[in-house]
Amino acid sequence: MVEVLIFGKEDCHLCEIVEAEIRSVKKARANLTVVDIDGDEAYYAKYWMRIPVVVVDGKEVLEAKDIDQEGRWKKSLPALLAGT
């Protein structure tokens, strides 16, 4: 089973968009967990300038700077979520 984490925070519009998109394309074998960085000082220090940050099986695969307004990032999601 692929482990997918989204590091974000409440009321983060971009985080919500990424989560919704991942939920729409993820395989049934993916386990998705959303982590609110506001609840952990270490996560906040590491991710606050980069959210949302998507981690698949322990590897960071997507963050805010990778998300373009045209939606090209969405095309890469199936491969990223497969861990390839």
**50 within 8 A of 15, measured Cβ to Cβ:** no
Range of the domain at 48: 2-81
Task: Let me know if 81 is exposed, middle or buried by CB neighbors in 10 A (0-12, 13-18, 19+).
Answer: buried
- The CATH number linked to 24 is 3.40.30.10
Structural domain count of the chain: 1
pLDDT digits (tens, 9 = 90+) for 21-60: 999 887 656 799 999 999 999 999 999 999 999 999 999 9
Q: How confident is the model at residue 67 (pLDDT cuts 50, 70, 90)?
A: very high
- The whole-number pLDDT of residue 27 equals 62
Q: How confident is the model at residue 61 (pLDDT cuts 50, 70, 90)?
A: very high
